[in-house]
Amino acid sequence: MTQPLYTLDAVLAATQGHAETIDAKAIGSISIDSRELGQDALFVAIKGDRFDGHDFVDTALANGAVAALVSEGRSSGPGRIVVPDALEGLCDLARFARKRSRGFIVGVTGSVGKTTTKEALRLVFEAAGKTHASIKSFNNHWGVPLMLARMPEDTQFGVFEMGMNAPDEIRPLSKLVRPHVALITAIAPAHLERLGSLEAIAYAKAEIFEGLEPGGIAVLNADHPQIDILREAAAAAGVRTVITYGYARGVDWQITDFQNAADRSFATLVHGEDRHALALGVAGRHMVANAAAAFIVAQLAGVEAATALRALASFGAQPGRGQRLSLGPAETPLLVIDESYNANTASMAAALSVFSEITPAGRKVLVLGDMLELGEASKHMHASLAEAVQATGADAVFLVGPDMTALAEALTGAMPVSHFAHAEDVVQPLVDALAYGDAVMIKGSNGVGLARVVDAIRSRFDQN
């Protein structure tokens, strides 16, 4: 019999909650979505930006939840565990899960690459032992406690992604997770609208150090000018061991001999006298950096180098983050590169560099959406992409969103450009312009909604 995630008594002890007529003695899973309930689920009625879970408690119980964690005064009746605040109750469960864990815990943040790096870590750790990792981009004030509360007691490796939109958001998440390793993938112009500068972004990301376990280690990508800020912040937080990596010289782990070959990439990771050959199932310098970070952290966790390298050989891009789709006939497929989930100048430059090396049988087509939350620098940063866009050799460029007006103006006369206000406006013209044998890359901030463009292309061209 599978060991339950919690006993009911443990949930009550952790949350100091009051049970109202609950027959179940064990909790097998935790959910905040009444439509997605695992076995013997505890439904947690948190209040989000658009929905309040208390409106769905009865639905969750009817759908099979064995109990619901609710805020006092918001829901009553059989099956409820009543606490002062349901979200804080979830955090209490997260603290309980972390306290009982004997696993090696990693916290990951950064302006770009954190989800991809988290997935690379998950892949490597799963090759070495029982692993629990954040799903999707559950990296905020409710996503992190939910992921932590779901961690089984016998987990050997735990990986938790932490995101932020403003200062003072990562600090409480890191203090909840209490990682043994804090990894920062990069500092880049994301959330400039709220934070104002790259330096402010670096300080906000550095809050992750404040939750490190005693003797914990900071692992930092050094390929950005804010590395000294991160070093100083780590020292101020009492972190004694800082490990750097990247393409720059003088780092503890240097990436050398980088090569792209179709949809794969290769590099050598050098640490003192040791040299490790990385081979990945995805192209891009940025992807190699993400994999290098995963390899380094795996070494700190005691995973054998050969095990980690074998696992990384199968590492590929995730949906919305560089995933490649070959649609249609094998001889002349339509190549779709799905980068629809996120965008800032750093990730744009990396994706455009990869696209520039592609030579399809047909045409090369770019679909670029607004990079959001760049504040006053937005116009300049969008226009600054012009040279990289031209270097791709694209035969047609489709731009989406008001901020892309600046790039459209910068590209005027340089190449065929079409500009659309919304994602839905570009769908039909784009689909009509594509053909088997072409290559198309779609990239923009998630809020632009370019994922629906990818879906439309798949619907039109996928013959499976």
Instruction: Evaluate the CA torsion angle 134, 136, 139, 142 in order and state its sign.
Output: negative
Does the annotation list 28 as a binding residue? no
Which tokens is 30 given? 């935790």
Contacts of 293 (CB under 8 A, 6+ apart): 113, 117, 120, 121, 183, 185, 219, 221, 245
Written as one letter, the residue type at 297 is V
Does the annotation list 114 as a binding residue? yes
Does the annotation list 159 as a binding residue? no
Which tokens is 180 given? 């043994």
The helix/strand/coil state of 427 is helix
Judged on CB neighbours under 10 Å (0-12, 13-18, 19+), 50 is exposed
The closest alpha carbon to 209, from 188, 180, 185, belongs to: 180
Phi, psi of 132 (to 5 degrees): -125, 125
Note whether 190 and 373 are within 8 A (CB): yes
Does the annotation list 453 as a binding residue? no
What DSSP string describes 223-251? SSTTHHHHHHHHHHTT--EEEEEESSTT-
Note whether 377 and 384 are within 8 A (CB): no
129-136: long-range contacts (C-beta < 8 A, 24 or more apart)? Answer: 129/156, 129/157, 130/154, 130/155, 130/156, 130/157, 131/155, 131/156, 131/157, 131/158, 131/159, 132/103, 132/157, 132/158, 132/159, 133/158, 133/159, 133/160, 134/159, 134/160, 134/161
Contacts of 387 (CB under 8 A, 6+ apart): none
Q: What is the Cα Rg of the chain in Å?
A: 23
Does the annotation list 110 as a binding residue? yes
Q: Distance between CA atoms of 42 and 29, rounded to whole angstroms? A: 6
Which tokens is 314 given? 């199968």
Provide the annotated binding site for ATP.
Answer: 110-116
Provide the annotated binding site.
Answer: 110-116
